[in-house]
Amino acid sequence: MRSSKDLIPKFVALSQLREKIQSQYDIIKERSKFSDTNMFEIYFEISEKDAALKDLFDFLGDDIHDFFKCTRVNFLKPKEVPQLHYAPTSSFKFKGKYTNAEIELPIKIYRSDKHKCIRCFKYTADEENQICPYCKTYLPEDFDISKALKSM
Ligand SMILES: [Zn+2]
């Protein structure tokens, strides 16, 4: 079993990282019309060899995007560029400490190139006024979203 002593450095590093990202969200909101953080995708740039950082992110599991209040969290290899329609909305570095090592983590925030899902409100749908692939798994196969909307 993990002792709580092992968990504290993780919580500290992750909450500092989240604070840094939150302050970038605030900057973006101030200078653009993007007010919903669900519009954002975060890209962390980490090298394959960085076991400590991988361990830190693995700790958050599948809920990692909820932790950072964005639509999706992605990982890039150093110098890798994501194939998206938009330029990054914000590009910065997180500097902190984890497991007694200094962390320098390059982060980019992109506006998602997907549409707002009408079920979960995340920007994960392929088309406007549609349900995203994740939410589709919760609905019957013959469910017709346009009919459902008209009957509302
Ligand atoms: Zn959805």
Are 107 and 122 contained in the same domain? no
Distance 65 CA to ligand 1 centre (A): 13
- Enumerate residues with CB within 5 Å of ligand 1 (an ion): 117, 119-120, 132, 135
133-149 average pLDDT score: 83
Model pTM above 0.85 = no
Res. 30 pLDDT band, cuts 50 70 90: very high
Are 32 and 71 contained in the same domain?
yes
Domains in the chain, number: 2
Same domain, 123 and 50: no
Amino acid at 6: D
pLDDT band at residue 1, thresholds of 50, 70 and 90?
low
Q: How far is the CA of 9 from the centre of ligand 1 (A)?
A: 33
Tell me the CA–centroid distance for residue 38 and ligand 1, in Å. Answer: 11
- Claim to verify: residue 12 and residue 27 sit in the same structural domain: yes
Instruction: Looking at the structure, tell me whether residues 91 and 108 fall in a common domain.
Output: yes
Ligand 1 centre distance from Cα of residue 43 (Å):
20
What is the predicted pLDDT for the residue at 17? 96
Cα 10 to averaged position of ligand 1 atoms, centre (Å): 29
Question: Domain residues for 138?
Answer: 114-152
Residues 72-87: b if buried by 16+ CB within 10 A, e if exposed:
bbbebeeeeeeeeeee
- State the average pLDDT for the chain: 89
- Is residue 104 domain-shared with residue 93, that is, in the same domain? yes
The 3-state DSSP class for residue 69 equals: coil
Please tell me whether residues 133 and 106 are part of one structural domain: no
Q: Measured between alpha carbons, how far is 119 from 116 in angstroms, rounded to an integer?
A: 9
Judged against a pLDDT cut of 60, whether residue 40 lies above it is answered with yes
Reported as a pLDDT band with limits 50, 70 and 90, residue 150 is confident
Give pLDDT, residue 2: 60
